[in-house]
Amino acid sequence: MRKKHRKSFSLMIYTLLIIGALFIILPMYITIITPFKTMKENSLSFFSFPTSLYLGNFHTILTSPQYYAAFFNTVYVTTGTLVLSFIIHPMMSYALSRSIQQKPRYTYLYYFLLAGIFIPFQVKMMPLVILMSRINMMNTTGLICLAIGGSTCESVFLYVSYLNAIPQDMEEAAYIDGASTNKTYRLIILPLMKPIVATVLIKNGLWMWNDFMMPLIILNRTWKNWTLTLFQYNFQTQYTTDYSLSFATFVMSMLPIMIFYVILQKHIIGGLTHGAIKD
């Protein structure tokens, strides 16, 4: 009876795993094959493999000036957000983490930042539009500022949680040797934070590259400010039945951020003090 029970349980687990894998593989399959089919092929069968390697959809996208404007705007917004996030958030979190340990009253500031995680974007949407409009920041630079502000609460939460687990022995040794707080942060703390920094950068990079709501309310006044998500949105409203062209933009938008993820994901897995002490 036990063997039959185990076999039934294993069969149920594998069935669920197969169904879950299909939910992942099938959308990816459709996304990859659809751009290589003509509009006629897609109308006949949406799931069939393309009869030939049709590249006309990619040619149409690559000859559109709106695509290049959207691509460079997306790169600018994402890169600017990540660079400023890398400079501001770890430094801010380090100061907050060590201040909490020395002066408990800073805990209230930490909780105040945590409260921002629970505020839905829809609540902040209209005040943000009014504010950005009044200060003439309805552009890509203004979007970077909003992204930094919007990612601060969650990033600080992740960084502070990680920093609290780092022992202060090496910091104290550095202070004894005459190192300043700035030098201690740059040469000791920041290298130890590499796994969590990579995690936060990947999270924020994926968010900004694929974000739709903030670009929609900030950048949708002219196509020269579009990001790739807005390009896809306006493109689909113009060509509502041409899925081949729409999916071609999806594939071309996914490639850069997938490469970015592959480059940084290896840094997520690592020991806390890996490489900090050499024999």
Cα–Cα separations (whole angstroms), residue 19 to 11, 103, 149: 12, 52, 39
Give the tens place of pLDDT for each residue, 55-100.
888 888 888 888 899 999 999 999 999 999 999 999 999 999 988 8
User: Given a cut of 50, is residue 16 above it in pLDDT?
Assistant: yes
User: Given a cut of 80, is residue 128 above it in pLDDT?
Assistant: yes
Residue 27 CB burial class (10 angstroms; 0-12, 13-18, ≥19): exposed
As a whole number of angstroms, the distance between CA 264 and CA 162 comes to: 18
User: Given a cut of 90, is residue 34 above it in pLDDT?
Assistant: no
Which residue ranges form the domains of the chain, and what is each CATH number?
A: 58-265 (1.10.3720.10)
As a whole number of angstroms, the distance between CA 193 and CA 268 comes to: 10
Q: Can you tell me the mean pLDDT for 118-128? A: 87
* The pLDDT value given to residue 105: 85
* The pLDDT value given to residue 276: 42
| Packing angle, helices 106-115 and 65-102, rounded to 10 | 150
Q: How far does Cα 97 stand from its chain's mean position?
A: 24
Backbone angles phi, psi at 119, to 5 degrees: -90, 115
Q: Which residues contact 109 (CB under 8 A, 6 or more apart)?
A: 96
Are 94 and 130 in contact, with CB atoms under 8 Å apart?
A: no
Give the tens place of pLDDT for each residue, 159-195.
998 888 888 888 888 888 888 888 888 888 888 888 8
Q: Can you tell me the mean pLDDT for 197-220? A: 89
